[in-house]
Amino acid sequence: MSTVAPVFQGESPQSPPSYLKAGHTIKSWLLTGDHKRIAILYLIAVSVFFFFGSIAASMIRVELVSPRGVMLENDTYNKVFTAHGIIMIFFFLIPAIPAVLGNFLLPIMIGARDLAFPRLNLLSWYLYVAGGLCALLAMAFGGVDTGWTFYTPYSSMYSNTNVTLTIVGAFIAGFSSIATGINFIVTVHKMRAPGMTWFRLPLMVWGSYATSVIIVLGTPVVAITLLLVVMERVFHIGVFSPELGGDPVLFQHLFWFYSHPAVYIMILPAMGVINEVITCFTRKRIFGYHFIAFSSLAIAGLGFLVWGHHMFVSSQSMYQGMVFSLLSYLVAVPSAIKTFNWTATIYKGSVRFQTPFLYVLGFIGLFVVGGLTGLFLAAMSTDVHLTDTYFVVAHFHYVMVGGTIMGFLAGLHFWWPKFFGKMYPDNWGKLSALIIFIGFNLTFLPQFVLGYLGMPRRYHYYYFAPEFQFWHIASTAGASILAVGFLIPAVYLLWSLKYGPDAGPNPWGAKGLEWTIPSPPPTTNFVEIPVVREEPYAYDAEADEREERVPAETKR
């Protein structure tokens, strides 16, 4: 029985053209209201920023090969790591999954023709690009040296670099994020197809919804905070600077009130992707649907109560630190619920080791390492030792990069045939997944050791401890492998657009409304709005075998 929609709405002579063929002019792309086209615009823009951010990362890793530094002056090094942080966080990790995969899939997954506000959606892309250009211009013409955190009073009173323009860029990009968040919330509340109840929503939608709640509540706070920094910098309206009567720790409170939840803006959508992929490639229903759905909301809620763990050594009171430490431990509970449920889903599943699933396994591995090392940092006594060392760097790369990039690539490989109707070579996909996993661990595992031994972050040399060189060289070698791992998918995915075999509407034999429409989907998604009659992830491995509905892996 076909699951969610009564009839497969395949291509027929009178079916509407796909969204890719709905217009061929550049204008038809740049003025589109179609959530799918906007997702593709985002995919292109996000990839460009990822490229720039990666170049900055490579410069950091090359610099640290030698104890006295290789090529960069100390000022330049400060600008490079700042550029790396700002580009990767504000312009890659935060928008990557919601704005690309979420934009494309969220309306289709709930059975809608578009997001509730298509023009707002387009505006969000333009804001994103405008913000990104501001930041890139600031970096091209002199750079910024504050670190991505813009700590006051250095950023507001002392730094002689392009802080204002960079902050304007981040500020504008924040409103792009807010626009997406509002759009997703309204769409999930008001645009669900008949029968698509809250507990029939794919868990990716739950993840995107929880993310949107964080965006809507958190982003405005960092926006006003950055605005106050600019006002202090430009007009000397003092709020944070002690010489003007202000309190710099207030900046840290306001900044981390957003920027800690921002980590969950990056990871929650990735977790959503994992649910979709893991069920398809184990041919099983998700284990503990309700627990996963509510753990997303729990992470979103708890995420707002833990910002103080970034400030254990910032002069906040010890009792405040204890409360934040305890609350930070609590975040481990919903995270563990998810991880255990995914593991239980794999257990006794008919696992098919194809590219998206390899990325899922990578995600679980890296996220567990990143999450557990987070507990070290949430404990005040160890944090005092590890603050501002490479241990912190390794930890947040495991969570944010390991989690988000693995989730992004898993989703991109899973839905690529839906995006473009073309299949990529699975063997190359598997190879690159393996290379990325190995490269990632080789890059960041040594950094845990470095941090434990006392290597401070944001230093461009370590001649005081030449014995660190071994670990730094290992890390740089890993980064090189990682770069190769990222280049391979870029090549074969682009190759597949022209030469890949047609994927058909449902190459994975997956459930979910997006697989009931043609690939690539028509502009209005559905000829007729479907009526949902079944729970999500209604996989049945035995029925698959009986009906041989699942194409053999080797064919692709």
Partner 1 sequence: MSMKTEALQAAHGAEEQPLHHQFEELPQQNESYVVGMWVFLVTEIMFFGGMFLAYVLYRWRYSEAWFEAHTKLDIPLGTTNTVVLLTSSLTMALAVHFAQLRNKRLQLAMLGATIGLACVFLVIKAFEWSAKFQHGLVPGPNFTWEGLVPAPQAQLFYSLYFGMTGLHALHVIIGIVVIGVLALLTALDHPLVKNDFIPTELVGLYWHFVDIVGIFLFPLFYLIPK
CA-derived radius of gyration, the chain: 23
Strand partners, 456: 389
* Residue 337, amino acid: I
Nearer to partner 1, 145 or 232 (CB): 232
Q: How far is the CB of 106 from partner 1 (least distance, A)?
A: 13
Read off the tokens for 127.
Answer: 């804001």
CA atoms of 87 and 100, how far apart (whole Å)? 17
CB of 390 to partner 1, least distance (A): 32
Quick one: 243 or 467, whose CB is closer to partner 1? 243
Select 235 or 319, whichever has its Cβ closest to partner 1. Answer: 235
Of the two residues 218 and 485, which places its CB atom closer to partner 1 in the complex? 218
Task: Round to whole Å and give the CA distance between 226 and 288.
Answer: 40
In the complex, minimum distance from the CB of residue 262 to partner 1, in angstroms, rounded to a whole number: 14
User: Which CB atom, from 117 or from 294, has the smaller least distance to partner 1?
Assistant: 117
Peptide bond before residue 520 is cis, with ω within 30 degrees of 0: yes
CB of 334 to partner 1, least distance (A): 23
Query: Read out DSSP for 146-199?
Result: STTTT-TTIIIII--SSHHHHHHHHHHHHHHHHHHHHHHHHHHHH-PPTT--GG
Residues across the chain: 556
- Residue type (1 letter), 242: P
CB closer to partner 1, 116 vs 405:
116
Kindly tell me which of 106 and 136 has the beta carbon lying closer to partner 1: 106
CB of 35 to partner 1, least distance (A): 9
CB nearer partner 1, residue 46 or residue 178: 178
CB-nearer residue toward partner 1: 12 or 381: 12
Amino acid at 350: S
> Residue 265 Cβ, how far from partner 1 at the closest point, in Å?
14
Report CA torsion sign: 480, 481, 482, 487.
Answer: positive
Nearest distance from C-beta of residue 116 to partner 1, angstroms: 5
> Is the CB of residue 204 less than 8 Å from the CB of residue 120?
no
**Rounded to the nearest whole angstrom, what is the least distance from the CB of residue 216 to partner 1 in the complex?**
5
Q: Find the shortest distance in angstroms from Cβ 197 to partner 1.
A: 16
CA distance 202 to 185: 15
- Closest distance between partner 1 and the C-beta of residue 392, in Å? 26
SS3 for 530?
Answer: coil
Under a CB-based contact definition with an 8 Å cutoff, are residues 261 and 90 in contact?
no
CB nearer to partner 1: give 68 or 190.
190
Which residue is associated with the tokens 């760097």? 393
What DSSP line would sit under 81-124, residue for residue?
HHHHHHHHIIIIIHHIIIIIIIHHHHHHHTT-SS-S-HHHHHHH
The residues that touch partner 1, with contacts defined as CB under 8 A, are 112-118, 178, 181-183, 185-187, 189-191, 216-221, 223-225, 228, 231, 235-239, 243-247, 250, 253-254, 524, 528-529
The tokens describing 209, both together, are 């919804």
Smallest separation, CB 246 to partner 1 (Å)? 6
Task: Specify the residue, 115 or 377, whose C-beta has the smaller distance to partner 1.
Answer: 115
Task: Give me the amino acid identity at 507.
Answer: P
**What is the nearest approach in angstroms of partner 1 to the Cβ of residue 208?**
14
Both structure tokens of 152: 């006051």
Of 467 and 528, which CB lies nearer to partner 1 in the complex structure? 528
State the amino acid at position 116 in one-letter form. Answer: A
Contact 229, 240 (CB under 8 A): yes
Mutual angle of helices 248-282 and 318-346, in 10-degree steps: 10
CB-based contact 522:16 (threshold 8 Å): yes
Do 142 and 162 meet the contact criterion of CB atoms below 8 Å apart?
Answer: yes
CA distance 99 to 181: 10
